[in-house]
Structure 1
Amino acid sequence: MSPLDAQTTARADAVLSRLQLLVSRKLDGLLQGDYVGLLPGPGTEAGESREYRPGDDVRRMDWPVTARTTQPHVRRTVADRELETWLAVDLSASLEFGTAKYLKREVAIAAAAALTYLTVRGGNRIGAVVGTGSSTVRMPARPGRKEAQGLLRAIARTQVQPGRGDLGALIDRLNRPPRRRGVAVVISDFLAVTDQWARPMRKLAVRHDVVAIEIVDPREMELPDVGVLTLVDPESGALHEVQTADPKLRRRYAEAAAAQRTAIAQALRGAGAAHLRLRTDSDWLLDMVRFVAAQRHARTRGTTR
């Protein structure tokens, strides 16, 4: 190992240690109860029936009880005690960007660390596929804190490869081979054309509870007035000079960015994924706490996300 690689490894380990302490302080106890995992999933063991409520999954309709009572009923299920979670972590070149507190890559790794901490307890298994531009790395799902820490170290040490990433292909890796129902988490900035990844997301949601974590930097939403600005496409290397003093240009940029984020949100909602947006200029951990709490509240009321 070269001195540069050793320094990078030591820095990654130090960051992960701080993240584990931070997550444990703020999130420990949040998911205490009869199910220990990121989301209180529906499970596979049959439970009691109850009356249908708007938003319930029609796939869990209890037709015999519905016919007997003439009122729509759904079959509740007992949550599985062991959960298998898979992360699809996009670490392509577009994530090597940030103009606020963090790089988008740092937020993505932090989100993966928090999710790993939340799901690894209770014998749960967690694995990952990591996209780095022109290549994809698969890390098998294993139980245990030691294995989870090794998984996070491997993700944090992953080096970006040149080339444009294929988010759709990365997500599709979670569909092969077919696995029992679990949780699938996709962490990306979702800047690829929605047609590229929307169909794999829908396919993934047929079998799994899907969580989509979108990483956003404020400069992707609006341009500051700083005169002539030279921009570089991190995936292609193309250079563009932009005159940011032009208010019309800044307005068009903001409108186009807002339209893009709306299209991303609609595609994720259409795929049936729970959508969390994390910004590089905000408290990402607080946003995750609110998201997980909201998911639990929705599920315990018997509604879907």
Structure 2
Amino acid sequence: MTTSELAKKVRYIEITTKKAVTATFAGEYASAFKGRGMEFDEVREYQTGDDIRTIDWNVTARTGKLHTKRFMEERELTIIFLLDLSSSGSFGSGTQSKRELAAEICALLAFSAIKNNDRVGLIIFTDGVEVYIPPKKGSKHVLRLIREVFAFRPGGPDPALTDIGFALNSFSRLYRRRAVVFLISDFLDRGSANAEKPVVVRVDLEESEVYLGESFIYRVQVIGGKNVGIPDTSNFEDFDVRDFPKAWLRYRNTDWLDPDTLELGTNYFFRIVALRTGLLTLPSVTIDVDGKIYSTPEFRIKAELPPPSKHRRTAVRCGCPRTPPQGRTIFPVKAAQI
């Protein structure tokens, strides 16, 4: 596409969309935002004419120079377009391609936004983020966005790939403020469907303060991955560790577990008993997932001697289906105080 053809297309989009904005959206869009609500934007050095009521005295005390807070009106929105421009966008009818239709949609929404003094930004993506234009105001900025859409040509080894998930994650890292996001795509997402899913290893602990000889449950959960190994608990020197069948959970209080996660991924449950008193460290557990080693965080466990009434094994909760729990699980263990 030559420069003159590009300018002609941009001008055509500008005329048609401005006409639609004036005829259809004028008045309705603005009426949704009433009131003066203010949202913090940034801190900068004091300038002549700034309202003294906005001086940030904490920053001023730290730097030794006057600083003021800047605010923006909440009714001034930030509009971000997440636009898929993989090579599948070149397909269309004889008169208009999907790329041209996407540009027209962006222009219509963008000109509607700047009529209300809103800021508009653009992210163009395929199987990765290709172009990022930060949000700004003004019709010149909108025309620049439209030119970028028409001028962009997908590259890479496979320009047909699209990864919407990656684009959304990238956007969350690039822009952390509140915004209205429009995702414009044909949703032929072959890239993310074939992409390797991330592996998540999480742990849950039933108790962090226990009596000597009292059992508590420790869960290791692996979400994702195809070949999941057995967690290595060989370094639990201050604890007795035994496997705990998942079916036995019905004999214990499971309020500490999110029930929606019990059927996710691979779950390993262990029954753990402290072997001495004091502030103990529950070591990190390592687990092999698809040939890669993952480690869990360490935990601090406070183990104390049980009260005199608990020394006898009168309220045993050992996790055995034949012995329904009626209290805390106390196992006879010789105290080793530190």
Q: What TM-score does the superposition give when structure 2 sets the normalisation length?
A: 0.41
Name the one with the larger helix percent.
Answer: 1
Q: Which has the larger radius of gyration?
A: 2
